[in-house]
A = this chain, B = another copy of it.
Amino acid sequence: MSMNLCLYVAADTFTETRAKGTHVVVIDVLRASSTIVQAYESGVERIIPVAGVEEATRLLPTLDREKALLCGEQEGIKVDGFDLGNSPLEYVGTAVRGKTLVFSTTNGTTAMVKAAASDEIAVGCFLNLKAVVAHLISSGAERVSILCAGTNGLLSLEDFLCAGLMVNGLVEAYHNQLGLNDAAVAARLLAASMTDIFEVVSRSSHGQYLSNLGFKDDLEFCSRLDLYSSVPTVVDGRIQGRTQSSHR
């Protein structure tokens, strides 16, 4: 059993060539990955991640408007005319249960779209960290890419730490049968020296930005480790909800 793991600190450098033949984990702790994991747990029918507001608006008429919600943010704030923003705390209960979410964010969902040529796209964050590691191990994937969404092409501290903890989990399972690129080694070394996730998330540039917008509760929520054990995956551009899957 061996695995070759490449970590990308931001989505910009992730090309179709790099995507091909790999299993991808997209990490956008603040907040797309956390929100998608929360929505999935809340029993949505499906989630369609898109790369921008235009694409979201274009898709809407093709969907059952009774069940479809336009979701997402621009610069951290709910898009004008959209039903929901990008706070995981909105994605609970009947507001989303059984719904189809068309989900557009600046970095996270864009990264998911960029990874389309890969073999699988899993959505990861602190909320389902251990589950993602277990999922990768049980998949038997030999080539894995951890794709941090980052912020506008730059490294985000919270995504990088989350990635480092995932790398740590994989090192425990694979020992020296795990090949790591430099970014993965760096993230792992960083993660090894960190103890307080919430402290790091709060200190991150986007964490501070969201705090100033009044989303401090989101930071706390998104910092919770292993709250859930599900791993949403994007198949053919869609994340099929659990309920839906069991009826297929």
Contact surface of A with B, Cβ cutoff 8 Å: 8-10, 12-13, 151, 153-157, 160, 181-183, 185-186, 189-190, 192-194, 203-206
Contacts and interface: CB of A to CB of B under 8 A. Distances in A.
Which of A185, A192, A203 neighbours the largest number of chain B CB atoms within 10 Å of its CB? A185
A193 B192 CA distance: 9
Given A12-B12, A154-B181, A192-B193, 16 more contacts: A8-B154, A10-B13, A13-B153, A151-B182, A155-B182, A156-B182, A157-B186, A160-B182, A160-B186, A182-B206, A185-B204, A186-B186, A186-B190, A189-B190, A189-B193, A190-B193
Which of A151, A182, A185, A190 neighbours the largest number of chain B CB atoms within 10 Å of its CB? A182
30 contacts: A8-B154, A9-B155, A9-B183, A10-B13, A12-B13, A13-B153, A13-B154, A154-B181, A154-B182, A154-B183, A155-B182, A155-B183, A155-B186, A156-B182, A157-B185, A157-B186, A160-B182, A160-B186, A181-B205, A182-B204, A185-B203, A186-B186, A186-B190, A189-B190, A189-B193, A189-B194, A190-B190, A190-B193, A192-B193, A193-B193
Contacts of A9: 9, 155, 183
Q: Which 4 A-B pairs have the closest CB atoms?
A: A157-B182, A155-B183, A193-B193, A13-B153
A195 B205 CA distance: 27
Nearest to A187: B186
A186 B150 CA distance: 13
A59 B12 CA distance: 33
Contacts of A183: 9, 154-155
Nearest to A206: B182
Contacts of A189: 190, 193-194
A52 B180 CA distance: 29
